[in-house]
Structure formats: C-alpha cells, structure tokens
Amino acid sequence: MSRLTHLTAPEGVAPGSGYSHVVMGSGTFVAVSGQCAFDERGRVVGEGDPAAQARQVFENLRRCLAAAGAGFSDVVKLTFFVTDVAHLPAVRAARDAVIDPARPPASSAVQVAALIRPELLVEIEAFAVVAGGGGGGR
C-alpha cells in the first residue's frame, strides 16, 4: 500500500473538489520551486494560452520531480498561482492529466497581480515525499 495517506474530508470539514485537505506520509521531503511555462531554453511556451502554459508547467514539474527521484504520485501539495482565476479550469485539466484523481494532493490556488514576466499566466510549486533516500539526479 502507499506510504502516503490522503484525507479528502476530515471530520467536520466539507470534502474538497479535486484536492485532499490533508496528505501525510514518511520519507524524504522534496520542495520544487514555482515552475512557469518556460521550455529548456528559457522561452515562454503558449503565450496568451493558459492551457498550453499549464501543460508546460506540469512537464517542468515532472522533470524537476524526476531529478529528485520522485513522480506525481509522490506529490503531497501543489500551489497554483494564476494571474486570473478564469485560468483555473485549464490548470486543473493539466493537473488531472498527471495526478491520480482518487489520490489528489493538498492544493491551494491564489490569484496574483502578476508573475515574473508579463506573458506568464501560471506558476505552480510542488512539495513531495519520496520513500527512502530520494535524491536522484544530484
């Protein structure tokens, strides 16, 4: 069985929609800095397109997690930063393509005035817990 426990509806708390209120586990903690829609050369992918940007962000998260010996099944918390809450359906669709909907991580979504560059619409950070030592790709 998994070393992570997902609580979608702790007693007295309304169930979340697409997220767990609490995720706990044991192992090595991994923090992934906020990722934006940059390709490997630092160019923005999907300018003006929140769905394309969200897909690139999740690809960047996948690569960062893999470097730590982790995957999306190890993610315990995602934080979404969007320049417009109207982008959240696109972000959720990209998330749902890589995250098991039966075991969603804890999540927060925040609308921000701006990101580091004006053409960026989405930034996502991740926290994961990896069994054993983790640390792949050092």
The per-residue pLDDT string of the chain (138 residues; one tens digit each, 9 = 90 and over) reads 358 999 999 999 999 888 999 999 999 999 999 999 999 999 999 999 999 999 999 999 999 999 999 999 999 999 999 999 999 999 999 999 999 999 999 999 999 999 999 999 999 999 999 987 554 443
Rounded distance between C-alpha atoms, residue 107 and residue 71, angstroms: 16
Residue from 23, 29, 7 nearest 130 by CA: 29
CB-CB contact of 104 with 20 (8 Å) = yes
Domains of the chain, each with CATH number or no CATH: 4-9+28-128 (3.30.1330.40)
Query: Nearest 5°: phi and psi at 42?
Result: 85, 10
